[in-house]
Structure 1
Amino acid sequence: MSSASVPPSARLSTVVLDARDAHELAHFYARLLGYEVRAEEPHWVLIGPSDGVAGTALAFETEPAYVPPVWPTRNAGDQQMMLHLDVEVDDLEAETARAVAEGATLAGHQPQADVRVLFDPSGHPFCLWVRTSQ
């Protein structure tokens, strides 16, 4: 039987980000996304949407040796970005201002008019974007 005829049983449940302080970063994203804390341990936190609301859970793990990525990459030896989160918003300017008020930093390089690149408190790049066409 080919794998194409068997439905996969694997499902992506959570994206995990390393940080110097898992709790600080988890609470930043909980405020930004309106998520709630689902589980908390000394070096690990899981957040997600309220029950019944669609969305991907996020977890954060304390990694004392965490080094923030450089974005955009400038030199061959820079810490590379491993991933980034895209967050769709209705009002780009208002949500950018709110993200900055919550602790994000606006990136110096902005590649598109309908996207804002920001850095979370641990230095992970993330994008706020608005849908411009259906």
Structure 2
Amino acid sequence: MSPTRLSTVVLDAHDAHALADFYARLLGFVVRAEEPDWVLIGPPGGGTGLSFQTEPAYVPPVWPTRKPGDQQMMLHLDIEVDDLESETARAMAEGATLAEYQPQDDVRVLFDPAGHPFCLWTQPSQ
């Protein structure tokens, strides 16, 4: 039996290429493969990547969920950073939006341009 490997996580969006471009800039990833409605990006040296597919009926999740029936968050990306303040500012300059609700001091919840929540976080000071 051959071992299995997680190769990518796929995020839906109205425009797969635009969202892939945002995350490539944010993470320093490169495009590994692309089709008209799908893009795979990943670290330049290899490793697990992120994929994006165009979904015309995509509805952004609501975070935090406010009421029954809201489109719920299915997953989010946690991105470790060394400097939370400067990386939050950089993410926002790239097109992210800071969430109104921030549950922790060492985490910043943001939304990517398609509305997916993601977290920048840093190790707590010891």
- TM bucket (normalised to shorter chain) is over 0.9
1:69-104 CA deviation, whole Å, 9 max, x = no partner? 000000101000000000000000000000000000
Helix, strand or coil for the counterpart of 1:72?
Answer: coil
Q: CA deviation at 1:56?
A: 2.4
- 1:125 aligns to what? 117
1:61 aligned partner, one-letter code: Q
Instruction: Tell me which of 61, 78, 101 is aligned to 2:93.
Output: 101
- 1:65 aligns to what? 57
Worse-matched range after superposition: 43-52 or 66-75: 43-52
Helix, strand or coil for the counterpart of 1:37?
Answer: strand
Is residue 2:8 matched to residue 1:17? no
CA RMSD of the aligned region, Å?
Answer: 1.5
Instruction: Tell me which of 111, 117, 127 is aligned to 2:103.
Output: 111
Instruction: Tell me which of 72, 75, 81 is aligned to 1:80.
Output: 72
Structure with higher Rg: it is 1
Identity %: 79
Unmatched runs of 5 consecutive residues or more in structure 1: 1-5
Q: CA deviation at 1:11?
A: 1.3
Unmatched runs of 5 consecutive residues or more in structure 2: none
Distance 1:66 1:49 in 2: 26
Name the TM-score, length of structure 2 as normaliser.
0.95
What is the number of residues matched between the two proteins? 126
Distance 2:81 2:65 in 1: 26
Name the TM-score, length of structure 1 as normaliser.
0.90
2:57 aligned partner, one-letter code: A
2:97 aligned partner, one-letter code: T
Distance 1:51 1:109 in 2: 35
Runs of 4+ in 1 over 3 A off after TM superposition: none
Distance 1:115 1:125 in 2: 12
Q: CA deviation at 1:47?
A: 0.2
